[in-house]
Amino acid sequence: MNILKFKFNLNYHSLLGIYLSLLLPFLLILSYGRLFMTNKFLKWEYNKSNFPKDIYGFTTKDRIKYSADFIKYLHSNNDISYLKNLTFSNGKKLLNDRELSHMEDVKKVIKIINIIRIIVLITFIITFSILFISNYKIAFKYTLYGSIFSIFLLISISILGLFSFNTLFNYFHHLMGFSKGTWVFYESDALIRLFPLKLWFDSFIILFGSVIITSIILGVISWFFCKIKVI
C-alpha cells in the first residue's frame, strides 16, 4: 500500500509540476502583453526618433490623440459607434467599414484574452500553492523548468520573427482567431497610419525580451530555493 501511495503521489506531483511549467510562459506573455495596450506605451513609441512618419499627414500629436480613443474603446463598454464617430480634421470619417469591423473583432479577442489571463493566473497560483505545501522544492523545481521552457520557446519564436516578421505577424492573427486577410489594410488606411508594422515589431521585441529576462530571474530564484535545505 505504501509503495502504491508513493507512486500515486509521485505521478500526481509530476503532472501538476508539468502543468505548472507549461503555464508559466503563457502567464508571462499574457501579463506583459497587457502593458502594450496603454497610452503611455503608444506615446513613447510615437515619440521615438526612428518611428516612421506618416506620409499622409498624421503628426505625432494626431497619433497620440487618435490612439487614445482606440485604447478607450478597447477597455470600455463603448460599442463600435464610438470609433465610427471619429473624424479627420476635415470632417471625413476616420475609419472605413473594414477597419470598423476589424476593431470589433479586436475588442472581442481582447475580452477573451482578459478572461484567459485571469484563469491562467489563478490556476498557476493554485497549482504552485499545492506543490509548495507538499514540498516547496518540487514547486520551485518545476518553476525552474517552466523558466527554461519559456526561454527556449521565446528564443525560438524570436528567431522566426527575425527571419520573417510578416510570417510571425500572420501566425499571431491566425492564433487570435481572426479570419484570413481581415487584418490587411492599405497604407493610406487610418489603422495602418496609426499602428504601422514598426510599432508591432517593437512590441514583440520588448515583449519577448521582458519575458526572457523575467524567466531568467525566476529561474535563478527557483534554482536557489531548490538548493537550500531550509526555507
pLDDT at 98 over 70: yes
pLDDT at 11 over 90: no
Please write the tens of the pLDDT for every residue from 44-75. Answer: 999 999 999 999 989 999 999 999 999 999 99
pLDDT cut 90: percent of the chain above it? 68
SS3 for 93? strand
SS3 content of the chain, % helix, strand, coil (to 5): 75, 0, 25
- In the structure grid, which three cell numbers stand for residue 78, read together? 463603448
pLDDT at 6 over 80: no
12 contacts: CB under 8 Å, gap ≥ 6: none
Determine the average pLDDT of the residues in 75-103.
93
pLDDT at 150 over 70: yes
- Provide the pLDDT for residue 189: 94
pLDDT at 221 over 90: yes
Contact 48, 226 (CB under 8 A): no
- Provide the pLDDT for residue 10: 55
27 contacts: CB under 8 Å, gap ≥ 6: 117, 120, 121, 124
If one compares 13 and 112, the residue with the highest pLDDT of the two is: 112
Contact 74, 195 (CB under 8 A): no
How do the domains of the chain map onto residue ranges? 2-227
- Provide the pLDDT for residue 170: 75
